[in-house]
Amino acid sequence: MATTAGTRRSPSGGALCWAAAPVAAVRFGRWAPPRAHSWTPRRTYPTWSLSLVRSARWCLLRGRRAQVCGAAVMSATEGSSPSSAVRESASSHPAGRAISDAGVIGLAVMGQNFALNLASHGWRVSVYNRTYARTAETVERAQRELAADDTTASGSVTGFADLRSFVLSLKRPRRVFLLVKAGSAVDATVEALAEVLEPGDIIVDGGNEWYENTERRAASVAARGLLYVGMGVSGGEEGARYGPSLMPGGSREAYQQLAPLLEQVAAQVPGSGPCVTYIGPGGSGNYVKMVHNGIEYGDMQLIGEAYDLLRGAVGLDAMAAAEVFASWNAGALQSFLVEITARILRVPDTSSSAASAPALVDQILDRSESKGTGLWTMTEALRRGVAVPTIAAALDGRYLSARKDERERASRVLRGPERLSGTGHASELAAAGASPGAAGAVAETGPDTAPERVAALASGSVRASASTSRSDASAERALIAAIEDALFCSKLCSYAQGLSLLQRASGEQGWSLDLGELARIWKGGCIIRAQLLERIEGAFRRDPSLPNLLLDADLAAEIGRRHESWRRVVGLAASLGVPAPALTASLSYYDTYRQAVLRSSQLVQAQRDCFGSHGYERLDDPGRRWHTRWLSGGDSAEVS
C-alpha cells in the first residue's frame, strides 16, 4: 500500500505538511491508480476526484516533487515545531487509524466555525472540503486559536485531502457533519459518503435544506444501514463558533449518539440548559429551522418599520434612533436583533470626508435580498392553510425593495403625504398619543437630536430645556413608547404565526413537536433569541395544546395593555405615508383572529355561491349546506 508525505509553503509563509496516508498518490505529474482499500468516486459526481487532481496539480506546479495523498494536514511555522495541539494530532493520526470523534465536510464560514467549536470543547475533529485550500486554512486557524486559548480542552482539527482517508480517521459509529450548500451538492456528498461509510454510521446535514429532501435522503441511506439527521443550525458565524441553537431531527438512535457533542457545542442558557433538543422524526429539524427563518424575516421587517417611523414620524437621525433601540433592548424587547440594530445604527461611514460622518446604514442600497427560506415558509403556510401575514408582508417588502428603479420613478409620479421635514404633523402626532405641540419639538430637534436626550426621552427621564418644553418632551416620549408597544405586539404575532404553522405541520406529519421546548432552545444562540421567548415557553408549558399563542392569558393581557398604542402607530404610519406593511398586517391578523363573526367572510361565501353554486352553511344550522338563487328571487334549497 502506497504512503506518501510532503510539504509546501502556505500563503502565510508557514509550511503545510501532509502526513502519510494509504491512498492514491501522484507520481511525477501522473495519477497512480488507487491501491487496495482506496475509494473511487462515481462518474456521476466527479467533483471529489477533480478536487484531488487540483490539490496534486497545485503542489506539482509549485515545484514540489512531493507525492500528494489524502492526508492529515498539519500546520507549522517554518523553522519551528507545531503547536502542542497540532503535534499531538500529527502523532496520533497514523495512516488508517480511527482517532477522531467527529468529522466536518464543507469548510465555508459555518462549517469551519462549527469544526473549531467542536475542537474547543475537547473533541478531535477531522475536516474535509472539496477545495483543498479551505482545508489548509481551517487547520492553520485551528492551530492559532486552540493554542492561544488557555481554557481550551485538548481537542484537535485534522485536515484530509481525500474523502476515504477522512472517513477512515473517524471512530465508530462515525459522526459526519455536512455544512455544504443545500440541493445537489448535498446529494453528491451523501452519495459519495454512502459508498465508504458502514452500517450504523451517522450523516448530519446542518444546512438550510428543504425538509422533503432530507426525508428522501434518509430513506435512501437507510437501505445501506446508515442513520441520517437533518439539523437546523442558527446563530450565524459567531453562533457556529461559540454556541448555536441546534435543531436536529430524524433518527432518534442517531441523536443519542450525537447528544454528547451537541449538548457541549450548543449555546448555553443559565437555568435552561443547552440550546439543543431532539426535534422529532423525518425532516422535522429542517422544517423547524425553516419556520425559525420565516419568523426571523418577520422580526427583521418589523424592526425596520419601527426604525423608519423613528426617522419619518419622530424625526430622529440614525444615531439618535440607535439610542432608542438600545433603551428598548433593556426592556421587554430585549433580543439579539434589537441589540445589533442599535449597534449597526451607530456605525459611521468612514469613507465620508464630511466633518461629521453620516451613518453607514444611510449609504446602503435599499434592496433587501433573500436566500429562499422565507419563500419556503410561505409555500408551506399556503399549502397547509395557515395564515402568516406578517411573514408574508416581510417577504413582499423584500420583493418590492428589489424594484429600485421602479420605486424611483413612482416617487416622482404617485402622490401621497410628504415625509417629515421639520414642519407640520401636529395632529398626526397627537393621534399617536402626543400633544398638539409635539410637531414643533420634533422639527426643532430633527436630525441633530442628541443621543443623550433621545435616551432620556425613551427612558422617561427627560427634563425641560430652553428648546424643548415639558409638554413637547412628553409628546415625543409618548410617541416613542407607542412605537415600542406596536413593535412588541407585532413581534408576538410573528411568533404566533410561525408556531401555528409548526403546530399544523406537526399534526399532519406526525412529528409531535414540543413547542415549549422549541421556544426554550431558541432562547440562546439563534438569530431570533429574545426575552419574549421565556414567556412563549411558559405559555406552551402551561398548555401544550394551546391552539394559538395569542390565547395565552398572560400574553393576551399584555397585548390588551398595549393595543391602543399599536393602533395609533399603524394609523400614524398611514397618515404620514410611512410604509409599515408588517406592522399593519400584524394588527389585521390580531383583529381578524379576535372576531367571533367575520362579516367580510359571510359576503365572500355568498359571492362564491352566487357565481359558482359552491353553497354555504348557516350560523343557525351548521353542518348542512345551502344554495341560494341570489340573482333570481332569492329562493334557497339544501344541497348535498
Which carries the bigger pLDDT value, residue 213 or residue 353? 213
Which of 416, 341, 460 minimizes the C-alpha distance to 573?
Answer: 416
Q: Report pLDDT for 473.
A: 75
Residue 150: pLDDT band (50, 70, 90) is: low
Percentage of residues of the chain with pLDDT beyond 90: 69
Facing residues of 100 across strands? 170
Q: Report pLDDT for 469.
A: 58
Segment 94-111 mean pLDDT: 87
Q: Report pLDDT for 19.
A: 36
Segment 125-130 mean pLDDT: 96
* Angstrom distance (rounded) from CA 30 to CA 536: 62
Q: Report pLDDT for 9.
A: 34
The architecture that CATH gives domain 6-282 is: 3-Layer(aba) Sandwich (3.40)
DSSP annotation of 420: P
Are 478 and 433 in contact by the 8 Å Cβ rule? The answer is yes
- Number of Cβ atoms within 10 Å of the Cβ of 113: 24
Residue 477: pLDDT band (50, 70, 90) is: confident
Which carries the bigger pLDDT value, residue 57 or residue 496? 496
Q: Report pLDDT for 95.
A: 55
Homologous superfamily assigned to 289-593: N-(1-d-carboxylethyl)-l-norvaline Dehydrogenase; domain 2 (1.10.1040.10)
Which pLDDT tens digit goes with each residue over 571-612?
Answer: 999 999 999 999 999 999 999 999 999 999 999 999 999 999
Segment 65-70 mean pLDDT: 28
Q: What is the pTM of this model?
A: 0.80
Q: Report pLDDT for 415.
A: 93
Q: Report pLDDT for 370.
A: 80
* Angstrom distance (rounded) from CA 146 to CA 144: 6
Percentage of residues of the chain with pLDDT beyond 70: 76
- Number of Cβ atoms within 10 Å of the Cβ of 43: 7
Which carries the bigger pLDDT value, residue 566 or residue 154? 566
Q: Report pLDDT for 259.
A: 97
Q: Report pLDDT for 475.
A: 84
Q: Where are the domains of the chain?
A: 6-282, 289-593, 599-639
Q: Report pLDDT for 406.
A: 96
Q: Which three cell numbers stand for residue 113?
A: 466555525
Q: Report pLDDT for 356.
A: 77
Residue 470: pLDDT band (50, 70, 90) is: low
Q: Report pLDDT for 419.
A: 66
What average pLDDT does the structure give for the chain?
Answer: 81
Homologous superfamily assigned to 599-639: 6-Phosphogluconate Dehydrogenase, domain 3 (1.20.5.320)
Q: Report pLDDT for 471.
A: 64
Which carries the bigger pLDDT value, residue 37 or residue 324? 324
CA 10 to chain centre: 34
Longest CA span, the chain: 100
Segment 536-548 mean pLDDT: 97
Q: Report pLDDT for 472.
A: 72
* Angstrom distance (rounded) from CA 615 to CA 607: 10
Which pLDDT tens digit goes with each residue over 356-395?
Answer: 788 999 999 999 888 778 899 999 999 999 999 999 999 9
Are 16 and 75 in contact by the 8 Å Cβ rule? The answer is yes
Q: Report pLDDT for 266.
A: 98
Facing residues of 392 across strands? none
Is it the case that residue 58 has pLDDT exceeding 80? Answer: no
Q: 510's torsion region: left (phi>0), alpha (psi -120 to 50) or beta?
A: left
Catalytic residues: 289, 296
Which carries the bigger pLDDT value, residue 7 or residue 506? 506
- Number of Cβ atoms within 10 Å of the Cβ of 304: 18
Are 71 and 161 in contact by the 8 Å Cβ rule? The answer is yes
Q: Report pLDDT for 582.
A: 98
Q: Which three cell numbers stand for residue 560?
A: 390588551
Residue 151: pLDDT band (50, 70, 90) is: low
Segment 341-363 mean pLDDT: 89
Helix H or strand E segment including 383: helix 373-384
Q: Report pLDDT for 152.
A: 56
Is it the case that residue 46 has pLDDT exceeding 90? Answer: no
Q: Report pLDDT for 493.
A: 98
Which of 202, 156, 169, 137 minimizes the C-alpha distance to 21?
Answer: 169
* Angstrom distance (rounded) from CA 243 to CA 206: 14
Segment 324-336 mean pLDDT: 98
Q: Report pLDDT for 372.
A: 78
* Angstrom distance (rounded) from CA 472 to CA 495: 35
Which of 317, 315, 314, 335 minimizes the C-alpha distance to 326?
Answer: 335
